[in-house]
Structure 1
Amino acid sequence: MRRRAFLQVGAAGGATLLFSSGATGTAHAATRRRAYVLVVDGCKPGEITTALTPHLAGLRSDGTDFPRARSLPVMETIPNHVMMMTGVRPDRSGVPANSVYDRGEQAVRDLDRPDDLRFPTLLERMRPHGLTTGTVLSKEYLYGIFGTRATHRWEPAPVVPVSGHAPDQFTMDAAIAMVRELDPHLVFVNLGDCDRVGHSDLTGTTLQAARTAALVSVDQQVARFVSMLKDTGRWQDAVVVVLADHSMDWSLPHRVVSLAPALDADPLLAGNVQIADNGGADLLYWTGAAEERDAAVARMRAVVAGVEGVLSSHEPAALRLGPEAGDLVVYCEAGWRFSDPEVYANPIPGNHGHPATRPIPFFVSGGHRVVRRGVSSTAVARTMDVAPTVGAFFGLGEPRGGYDGRSRLG
């Protein structure tokens, strides 16, 4: 394990920020190139407009826009952030969802430990080339899974109770201070307010206003960051990738899908199925006799197909998910949400992880000459394209086994 040091840095308003850092063990690369990945968590493509988010819209129009961009058919926030930094699908990274049933622990748990991520990220792969990295991740579980992989990292603070995230104002304070004081070649930033407000949005007047306010706020935070890059002379050497990890869908209070009662009513399945609920998707795990697995999965498919609000079911391998994803992945329809194992377990109307929330904003901007202005109306950019894009910018080779994504430069 690399030794860590801690650095206190002054931020806006006289606040003090604490970064942990580790020595790279190599000389610092002389390149002036810098890459910044800004994740507007939970943002829908149509929410970036010249009226509501003019600074984000300006970055999009000054760069390459991918209006057909999609998140991968996986569940929740963690896997898509992992794909951004690895460039590979979940069956290779080991991270198929936020929540899984851990067969070893015999319990449902979050995939938020550093050793849950088994594939090398850009954060590690840049180090031997003398390229430094930084993570500014607003959510506690993202901070957890990426661990000490980055050269410099910020622990989210202050954290909002229940949501487990730091507000965008503090997150951007940290990002700006990290760039000013430590100047990593790559900085990976997650801005979580849009997502956290989105989970409570019933599309009613008051809560819709809160969603709008969050979008206006994140636009202002991104404007602060871009202004800092320009004021400090970094803009002309920078590539800025802006995207979301997923978008958002909303369900009415009564549109709840609970699979546990239906599964427990079946004689073969009763007491032999565990469920990891990921909002828009349920992961089902057969825990009975191994020789009965094939028959049990067939029964699961038949049972869930008859539950109102279910869109489809898939064996994990068909979705390029690894064994951590269980024996069957079930998606809900748009306007519905899963709540398992009890019907009251998930009261949150804002939801993602199912096909309705795949469309995302994705654009490559910045002042560096490699950035091209225009709209790529045919290319389907994905979250796993971030690592190949940044890697190509710095001239890195591909990881062992290659990328599943592709560079979106040029």
Structure 2
Amino acid sequence: MISVCCPCQYRLAIRLEPGIATIPLAETCGVDPATIFGEIIMLLRPLFTPLAGFAALLCVVGCGNSAVPDVASVPPAPAPAPAPGTPPVLGTKKLTVVVAVVDSLMPQEITATTPNLDALKSEGTFYTESRAIFSAETIPNHVAMMTGVNPARSGIATNNFIDFLDPLNPVERDLSLPEELAANTLFTWVDRKCRVNGLNPDIKTGATLSKKYLFEVFQGDAFDAQRANRNAKVFNVPPDSHWDPTSSPAYIGPGFEYTPDAPTMQQALTQLPEADFFFVSLGDVDRFAHALGTAARSAALLTADAQIGRLRTALEDAGRWENTVMIVTSDHGTDIATNPFTNGISTQGTLDALAGCFTPMTAVQNGGSDSLYVMDRSLPLAQRQAALRAARACLIGTTDCATLCPGATRPANAAQIAGAWYTQDDAADPEGSMPASLVSRHPNLGDLVLVAARGFKFSEPDASGNPIPGNHGHPVTFRNVMLVSGGSPWVKKGQVIAASTATPSDFDRLPEQAENIDITPTVAWLLGLNIQPGDFPEGAGFDGRILDQAFSQFDTAPNAAAPTVCGRFS
């Protein structure tokens, strides 16, 4: 193992299996936590080397200016909205809106040890209660951010699913297929509302997303002409500037499938100058928590914070900060276990035993959640539901498994299954209905979805399927970060939106709390996209809301007009 750090170049490479790869990366210098990363990983390496085939973990530690410069001069207030019937007139100023995701960041992790995030918090509006959508996984929550609708409508309800496109040959895969995304994305709304109608042909969007499957899900519907869209009324376009993380020399393949934060942000800074709306997602904090647990995650927080600082500095240096709204968020939280080799719940063996009496079912694990599918989709609903009822009764312990089918037994740790819900209600088992606050019932989530208790996870088909300590997807990881900041005078500074109840639950949907589905409605308002319910294929409007507590316009007008027209104002 070797760690090299010299002025304006950092490199750190670790493999948790035989062979060591080193990828140099030239950067602009700043903070240097490389030594911390190296020490932590070398200390923890013995825990992982026994895992045959455990994927490579490459830590590229980034540079960046962690200083937080003073906010620049303040622009004048936006022009009043045009009178009814008057065609909108573009102003001379451009608004920049940035949505920056620190994957799996939790609210309590923004402290003095993350000075850039902490400064943005003090200069903006911070929501103490914010929620991911279920399943609390990366793909569905990034999609929720960029569509403003729940998984029941978007179709993107989990990370991994069974694809029944060919019903005779179903396959497990990432739910990163653009054709399965059944709702318009923000990139599509900008295109339709500003360019297609000629209102502002010059408005540009961009995305720098560190994970391969995030790049894939936002590729747009023209990418694969052979696969039909789940919603024929939706045809999404990609961002104007859309980076493929697999093109980076620092990209890490199987097992991680992402590019570390420093090269991801370096790429983002090349795309940022052309973008009026920009979406960036950093994956180090999540990937380190998954693989190595708390200590490595804490170190990754420092470098993620530095990258956010670089993003802000770039906007300041370009003279754009005073007209920027930056939303810093996370897709979900994280649950880190101290016993990763014994805290798994493997249901596939039980399902295989039940197949002696019921139709076969397959379990797809997503960390803290488990999706169970009846494999023969041609069977009558009653027959499929009978199998699912048996699986649920056996797994949660309401009926002895052997009574349901000789030889069937509950798996180890089954007592730690905290919920088991159908995605289609079964009148014969109403206790299995999904909680109303989880608007995620969709076939892609499975036929029966299980969630683990804190400190536990699912591992399919057996214990070797998920040996890692960090997991999410289950309700204890619903809490995420929502912070609205930026140099724009429209953003209310130093404000904390607290919960209206003393002990909010993971399942609460309090009127003042934020959710990932609130991001697109908020950005659409800021950019003046004028999206109406009738513009949606089903005429339903957004599931999320404008985060109005964060903006001064709503102090005097509960239904404040958009401050720009397609991102332009005077």
What TM-score, normalized by structure 1, do the two folds share?
Answer: 0.88
Q: Distance in 2 between the 1:45 and 1:238 partners?
A: 23
- The amino acid across from 1:133 in the alignment is T
Tell me which residue corresponds to 2:388: 297
Q: Distance in 1 between the 2:355 and 2:320 partners?
A: 64
| 2:513 alignment partner, SS class | coil
CA distance 1:392–1:268, change in 2 (3 Å) = farther
Q: CA RMSD, aligned part only?
A: 1.9
Tell me which residue corresponds to 1:367: 487
How far is 1:71 from its partner? 0.6
How far is 1:75 from its partner? 4.2
Tell me which residue corresponds to 1:90: 151
- The amino acid across from 1:44 in the alignment is M
Q: Distance in 1 between the 2:125 and 2:388 partners?
A: 44
Tell me which residue corresponds to 1:78: 139
Q: Distance in 2 between the 1:126 and 1:279 partners?
A: 34
Q: Distance in 2 between the 1:124 and 1:30 partners?
A: 24
Tell me which residue corresponds to 2:423: 316
| 1:395 alignment partner, SS class | coil
Tell me which residue corresponds to 1:150: 239
Question: After TM superposition, where is structure 1 displaced by more than 6 Å over at least 4 residues in a row?
Answer: none
Aligned equivalent of 2:524, options 375, 391, 410: 391
CA distance 1:108–1:269, change in 2 (3 Å) = farther
CA distance 1:230–1:54, change in 2 (3 Å) = same
Matches within 5 A, 1:235-246: 235-246=321-332
CA distance 1:107–1:278, change in 2 (3 Å) = same
Q: Distance in 1 between the 2:372 and 2:514 partners?
A: 29
| 1:308 alignment partner, SS class | helix
Tell me which residue corresponds to 1:112: 176
Q: Deviations over 1:121-166 (max 9, x none)?
A: 1111101313310010000110111005101111112312331111
Tell me which residue corresponds to 1:67: 128
Q: Distance in 2 between the 1:179 and 1:237 partners?
A: 14
Aligned equivalent of 1:283, options 371, 389, 396: 371
Q: Distance in 1 between the 2:320 and 2:156 partners?
A: 34
Tell me which residue corresponds to 1:233: 319
Q: Is the 8 A contact 1:49 1:57 kept in 2?
A: yes
CA distance 1:300–1:30, change in 2 (3 Å) = farther
Q: Distance in 1 between the 2:417 and 2:91 partners?
A: 52
Q: Distance in 2 between the 1:266 and 1:365 partners?
A: 53
Q: Deviations over 1:159-196 (max 9, x none)?
A: 1233111111111111111123x2x1100000011110
Tell me which residue corresponds to 1:58: 119
Matches within 5 A, 1:346-361: 346-361=466-481
Q: Distance in 2 between the 1:327 and 1:113 partners?
A: 20
How far is 1:260 from its partner? 1.3
Tell me which residue corresponds to 1:22: none
How far is 1:259 from its partner? 0.9
Aligned equivalent of 1:38, options 100, 114, 120: 100
How far is 1:360 from its partner? 1.0
Q: Distance in 2 between the 1:267 and 1:386 partners?
A: 43
| 2:326 alignment partner, SS class | strand
Deviates more, 1:316-325 or 1:81-90: 316-325
- The amino acid across from 1:194 in the alignment is V
Q: Distance in 1 between the 2:187 and 2:91 partners?
A: 15
Q: Distance in 2 between the 1:268 and 1:406 partners?
A: 48
Aligned equivalent of 1:214, options 300, 304, 307: 300
| 2:541 alignment partner, SS class | coil
CA distance 1:153–1:286, change in 2 (3 Å) = same
Q: Distance in 2 between the 1:177 and 1:377 partners?
A: 37
Q: Deviations over 1:81-132 (max 9, x none)?
A: 0010000001111111111112234121111222221211111110131331
How far is 1:13 from its partner? 5.6
- The amino acid across from 2:497 in the alignment is S
Q: Is the 8 A contact 1:263 1:270 kept in 2?
A: no
Tell me which residue corresponds to 2:253: 161
CA distance 1:165–1:30, change in 2 (3 Å) = farther
Q: Distance in 1 between the 2:375 and 2:299 partners?
A: 45
Q: Distance in 2 between the 1:175 and 1:191 partners?
A: 10
Q: Is the 8 A contact 1:40 1:242 kept in 2?
A: yes
Relative contact order: is structure 1 or structure 2 higher (C-alpha 8 Å, sep ≥ 6)?
A: 1
Q: Distance in 1 between the 2:133 and 2:314 partners?
A: 32
How far is 1:56 from its partner? 0.2
Aligned residues: 379
Tell me which residue corresponds to 1:407: 546
- The amino acid across from 1:227 in the alignment is T
Q: Distance in 1 between the 2:239 and 2:92 partners?
A: 19
Tell me which residue corresponds to 2:15: none
Tell me which residue corresponds to 1:325: 445
Tell me which residue corresponds to 2:212: 140
How far is 1:343 from its partner? 2.4
Q: Is the 8 A contact 2:359 2:384 kept in 1?
A: no
Matches within 5 A, 1:334-345: 334-345=454-465
Q: Is the 8 A contact 2:416 2:453 kept in 1?
A: yes
Structure 1: state its 5+ residue gaps: 1-10, 15-27
CA distance 1:265–1:152, change in 2 (3 Å) = same
Tell me which residue corresponds to 1:254: 342
Q: Is the 8 A contact 1:122 1:387 kept in 2?
A: yes
How far is 1:326 from its partner? 1.9
Tell me which residue corresponds to 2:21: none
| 1:126 alignment partner, SS class | helix
CA distance 1:221–1:272, change in 2 (3 Å) = same
| 1:91 alignment partner, SS class | helix
CA distance 1:354–1:269, change in 2 (3 Å) = farther
Aligned equivalent of 2:286, options 181, 192, 195: 195
Deviates more, 1:55-64 or 1:369-378: 369-378
How far is 1:61 from its partner? 1.4
Q: Deviations over 1:281-318 (max 9, x none)?
A: 11111235323122222212211213232111112253
What TM-score, normalized by structure 2, do the two folds share?
Answer: 0.64
